[in-house]
Amino acid sequence: EDPEKLAAFEARIDRGEKIEPVDWMPQLYRKQLIRMIEQHAHSEIIGALPEGTWITRAPGFKRKLALIAKVQDEVGHAQLLYSAAETLGKSREAMIDDLITGKSKYSNIFNYPAYTWADACFISWLVDAGAIVNQLANAKGSYGPYCRALERICAEESFHLKYGHHCVIYLATGTARQREMFQEAINRWWTPMMHFFGPADKISTHTQVLMKWKVKMASNDDTRNQFLDMYVPKILELGFTIPDEKLKKNPETGRWDYTEPDWEEFMRVINGDGPCNKERLEVRRIAEERGRWVREALRSSKTAYVTPLA
């Protein structure tokens, strides 16, 4: 690659300028962005599934209404992100194909089942909280279309967070069984939540190059630590416990000490062998198949869809 172009590109990034689709960029920057934005888009669309199954069972009309809106937002986020990834040259069809065939990854956490309403509340509050920590940082990154998508996503996610927190406070101040349900949800989801921020910095493959080019604005360990800083006190304040005896803020380093989550489980889950991977992909495959006729009709239709009024 032309060293002069590369130097000019890196100087722009260092000055805090945004890179736009028409600008020159190194092949590796393009490839990494496609990988990361595409995985993010898949995570949103697959992430809609565990909560989506709770829409009909959410307790009461107001909760159902709010959950429908939240799930719809998540699918909308996928739309925004697929569009951002398309600006880099990979078609949406190719991305969906790679999702369905298992070639592309998506977030580990959505491969676990939401058994109870409390599991859905855990996702709405704490998984969304984790996503916001990551997205707020990366919205200040270098690639224009991704940053703009993240800004809008964060605005919508902040409503999800309030909704999720409200659901959890309701359980926390409810009956003994309701409190127990949420405690069980924490116990089930804590390890996948720790995995959510990605492998420890020392074993992360892409962090270095992504941080150099300001695609990733914080390392995996930094975002995990920031999440723990913000949310461990809130969880404990509600009277719940966290299933990790080592979890403690270290006064010397100012960072959280914790038991390393099982990274072998993480690798298994992100490579297709988690409790719900097959089911999640099957739902997307069926949706793709059932929607094919609509896409084909749109593509082959030569007539205008709307006839203007005379």
List contacts with ligand BYC (CB under 6 A).
35-36, 39-40, 43-44, 47-48, 51, 74, 105, 107-108, 123, 127-128, 131, 134, 195-199, 204-207, 210, 216, 220, 270
CB of residue 135 to ligand BYC, shortest distance in Å: 7
In the bound state with ligand BYC, the residue whose beta carbon lies nearer, of 12 and 206, is 206
Stated as kind and residue range, the H or E segment containing 141 is none
Residue with tokens 């092949």: 27
In the bound state with ligand BYC, the residue whose beta carbon lies nearer, of 132 and 181, is 132
Q: What is the DSSP string of 142-192?
A: SBHHHHHHHHHHHHHHHHHHHHHHHHHHHHHTS-HHHHHHHHHHHHHHHHH
In the bound state with ligand BYC, the residue whose beta carbon lies nearer, of 9 and 146, is 146
Asked if residues 244 and 171 have their Cβ atoms less than 8 Å apart, the reply is: no
CB of residue 206 to ligand BYC, shortest distance in Å: 3
In the bound state with ligand BYC, the residue whose beta carbon lies nearer, of 25 and 218, is 218
CB of residue 175 to ligand BYC, shortest distance in Å: 27
DSSP 8-class letter at 20: -
CB of residue 35 to ligand BYC, shortest distance in Å: 5
What is the C-alpha to C-alpha distance for residues 150 and 156, in angstroms, rounded to an integer?
10
CB of residue 165 to ligand BYC, shortest distance in Å: 14
Asked if residues 27 and 1 have their Cβ atoms less than 8 Å apart, the reply is: yes
In the bound state with ligand BYC, the residue whose beta carbon lies nearer, of 25 and 78, is 78
What is the C-alpha to C-alpha distance for residues 238 and 179, in angstroms, rounded to an integer?
10
Cβ-proximal residue to ligand BYC, closest one: 47
Residue with tokens 């969304």: 128
